[in-house]
Amino acid sequence: MSRIPVFSSFLRLKHTNPSVFHNAATIKQMVKAQRQLGVRFYDALPLLEAS
């Protein structure tokens, strides 16, 4: 089973290799991962508390 990358993986790529990050294939991979994982994709964002 392959591992689905999460948001923090793409953020790391953006800082280490921006040309690959802005590649169309990478953007497609990011969109596909977000669709598969839903809210779990956004692992690097702080959780919002319900008020």
Per-residue pLDDT of the chain (51 residues), as tens digits, is 579 999 999 999 999 999 999 999 999 999 999 999 999 999 877 655 544
Range of the domain at 22: 7-40
pTM metric for this prediction: 0.78
* 14 is a domain residue: yes
Which positions ≥6 away from 41 have C-beta within 8 Å?
Answer: 6, 7, 33, 34
* 19 is a domain residue: yes
* 32 is a domain residue: yes
* 1 is a domain residue: no
* 23 is a domain residue: yes
How many domains in the chain? 1
Q: Which residue has the tokens 């977000």?
A: 34
* 49 is a domain residue: no
